[in-house]
Amino acid sequence: MSVMVTGGTGFVGLNLVEALLGRGEEVVVVALDDVPAPALRAFAGLPGRLVVERMDVRDGAGLAGLMRRHGVDRLFPFAAITSGPEREAETPELVIEVNLLGFIAQLRAAREAGVRRVIAPSSASVYGESFFTHARLDEVNTPPVPVGVYGVTKYALERTGLRLGALWGMDVIVARIGGVFGPWERETGLRDMVGPHWHLARIAHARGEAVLPAVIPAYTWVYARDVAEGLLHLLDLAAPADRVFNICSGMAWGEVIVDWAERLVGIYPGFRWRRSGDAGEVNVRFSEVRARGAMDVSRVAGTGWRPRFGPGEAYADYGDWVGGMAGGV
């Protein structure tokens, strides 16, 4: 049997595929583009088997055929447009069509093909304004108040996935993923909110000067390898009592990004960085400047999973990865 990852050429998708291959799975990646060459080289040495298929996830009949042909019994429907304000203002219909209707098409295909478990990808963005009114955000007591169209589609995906799962007799688990950084992050044209860790690494690779804001708010960032491991934990979880889980570091982790900047100085001689109170000088983007709460991971911890990477461990591992990428990040 095999695992299908739609959107498997994206940031989180590649980390998930790498983790699945690392434990010997047969992985079917469905995407509209190719797996990047550096990822193919890295994956070639892993014990699993990789199959790549080109298909639009809105093609439910085609997906069902692929699932049957490859013996897919588990699904990560991760294809999505991670939209920012500009795209949402211009093409909200497309964001909703891909993120929600495309998800429903994948879920229906999984039902027809007899897939036994679906891990539905949600996002910290479903909490929206609650980040600024709650110190800790949990799956039960914190109201989802999404602001952007992306967050709205993710909350709709959660509720739709759980409802259809109940109606169709399907095993659906929702993963609310925090702000991710780490290996395989890149600009794909479908992810508008590329993170500040990546921006720092790009400026460092070019031996430029990075300018961070004078005040950096707390973020519940999570390292990409932890996200992949958390998702595999949900994939393997036997008969969970709950169906929605925060997958994040659980830490208020913001100012320590300067440690990442310092580590990049050691990797890229000539790179320099500073902080500025002048917003016009700042060239490392942050999605939010207001103080915000931290996502609580006690529910998933109660099932036996906790993130392995704190800031120090994450920056050391990411630094090794970035240093080994000859072509840059």
Residues composing the chain: 329
Integer Cα distance of 247 and 235 in angstroms? 13
> What domains can you pick out in the chain, each with its CATH number?
2-180+223-247 (3.40.50.720)
C-alpha span between 15 and 222 (Å, rounded): 13
Helices (H) and strands (E) in the chain, counts: 12, 13
Rounded to an integer, what distance in angstroms lies between the CA atom of residue 247 and that of residue 299? 10
Side chain identity at residue 220, one-letter code: T
DSSP calls for 227-256:
HHHHHHHHHH--S-S-SEEEES--S-B-TT
Task: pLDDT tens for the chain, 329 residues: list them.
Answer: 999 999 999 999 999 999 999 999 999 999 999 999 999 999 999 999 999 999 999 999 999 999 999 999 999 999 999 888 999 999 999 999 999 999 999 999 999 999 999 999 999 999 999 999 999 999 999 999 999 999 999 999 999 999 999 999 999 999 999 999 999 998 776 666 788 999 999 999 999 999 999 999 888 899 999 999 999 999 999 999 999 999 999 988 889 999 999 999 999 999 999 999 999 999 998 877 788 899 999 999 999 999 999 999 999 999 999 988 755 55
